[in-house]
Chain A
Amino acid sequence: MNLFFAALSKELREQWRTYRFLVVLVVLTLFGLTSPLLAYFTPQILTAVPGAEAFAGLIPPPAVVDAVAQYVKNLSQFAVLFAILLPMGAVAGEKERGTAALVLSKPLPRATFLLAKAAAYLLLFAAGFLLAGLAGYYYTGLLFEFLPLDQWLVMNALLLLYVMVYTALTLLFSTLTRSQALAAGLSFAVLLALGVIGISPALAVYLPAQLVNWSGLLWVEAGKTYWGAVGVSAGLIAAALLAAWLAFRRQEL
């Protein structure tokens, strides 16, 4: 356990000193903050555009669900980009530079090395969603109405789970290859492939992307649940981390 905390502490310090922590927090918070603003002011912005005055009457007055939809769309898109671009070098980069060989010649188990990285990204995105969530919650309340906080937290937890699927997959690909670009490319390929599979409505409800839909639907169809998507996403995370460990424990450094 001590080794895990030592490795986790190193990962968190690395994220802080290389400004990843700051960038993720600032970008996600900005989107959390601007989403309700954008939903609220879009009709006014459109009427201010020369020539677009005619459309002003066609746009319905903004509602709280528009703010939530904007928040879910922005957060899920940008966070998933971070989930692929940040961990792509987590293992591949360390193997390439040789730091993995140096620290793994010490009594640091390879499973701990990988788990610490996954945990650090979980904490990073959790902190990002927490700040973005608070900013979005406050501004949504200020401009529209204050929504139930517990439901707002569930919405962010679903988005966090969705983002962690791609974090875990990118960690797996980063472990399997020595190229950061290839690791990111493979993750984008999975994102695309799952998008294609999701065309089928019967399958879509079990895919990670359904978590994004569900987080938006929480405010429209409150009672509806998609536990299948939660199970598949959690299973994908566990399977990706397990596969990463199985591959990594046999790799030569």
Chain B
Amino acid sequence: MSAIGIENLTKTYGAVRALDGLSLQVAEGSVFGFLGANGAGKTTTIRILTGLARASSGTARVAGVEIGHNGVLARKIGYLPEEPPFYAWMRAQEFLEYTGQLFGLGAAARRQRAEELLRLVGLWEVRRRVIRGFSRGMRQRLGIAQSLVNRPQVLFLDEPASALDPAGRRDVLEMIAGLRGQCTVFMSTHILADVERVCDTVGIIHKGRMARVARQEQLLDAYTAPVFRVEVTANGGSDLSAWAKQISGEAYVEQVRVEENAARIRVRDLDAARRQLLEALARSGLAVERFEVVKPSLEEVFLELVNEEIDR
């Protein structure tokens, strides 16, 4: 069963089409990476799915509930906006208890839930400090905690790690990974590395339309050609450029990119490339330090898919 089902969703702001017939199914229990460039329609989608904005047309269901601003939907979801805002005068524990009150938890239950979550996100020690004095990372942790107060069936995270430093990002992503199996996570981001780290399924949105949805491994397998990486000694860079130019005309080569003393070669035919690239390298006389087939990154997949969309 799908935790999220979207059918032909559109959203227009005057002449601008923020969402253009978006359709998507997100499986229950998955950590879904909603990937797209800035302005692709990620936040608009989340705002519609959480009932904060209305779609111009189309339908959607979240946790079996028709979207819209209603208490039934709100009870089943959690929501973390990008750079979560808080009442600056409130204390961390107080905010979580207030959130618990909004979900109808009794005094003892909300105090206990607040304590659990403060410990989970590592804010127990500062629970009585006013939020005004919190760093960005602490606010993000508190944001995650408030989104989990009601043990949501579906959790919406809008760019949860984009504003954080590397250590903060790692912590937040670990927290998200820890939610696997507890609820369905719908995480929007434009940072591909974050998706690679925690998401099992990836959807790529481009100009308000879904370009592709697949499990991460399937996406990597299906949409990328194999890539070879050739690294030569530090002073061999100029010879490498000449060699790269020479092989770029070969039928089995799709694209060659040279960065300092390394070349990244995307090929069309893996077997042919294995044989011929080695021969070509042997003939070139380059001092090779490393020759390997590398796993293509999600970034390359993303760019390829976006380029495909543009070509259409």
Contact = CB atoms under 8 A, between A and B. Distances in A.
Contacts of B47: 101, 252-253
Contact of A107 (B50, B53, B75, B81): B75
A102 B85 contact: yes
B81 A102 contact: yes
Contacts, number: 65
Interface string B62-96: 00000001010011010101001111011000000
Nearest to B48: A252
B68 to A, nearest CB: 11
Interface of A: 2-3, 6, 10, 13-14, 17-18, 97-99, 101-110, 249, 252-253
B98 interface: yes
12 contacts: A10-B87, A97-B85, A101-B85, A102-B84, A102-B85, A103-B99, A103-B102, A104-B52, A106-B99, A106-B102, A108-B74, A252-B52
Given A6-B98, A108-B102, A14 B87 contact: yes
A253 B53 contact: yes
Contacts of A110: 69
A106 B146 CA distance: 10
Nearest to A7: B102
B54 A105 contact: no
Contacts of A13: 90
B85 A105 contact: no
The DSSP consensus for interface residues of chain A is: helix
B71 A101 contact: no
Nearest to A18: B89
A106 B103 contact: yes
B101 interface: yes
Interface string B200-219: 00000000000000000000
Nearest to B102: A106
A37 B37 CA distance: 68
B71 A109 contact: yes
Contacts of B102: 3, 6, 103, 106-108
A6 B89 CA distance: 17
Contacts of A108: 74, 102
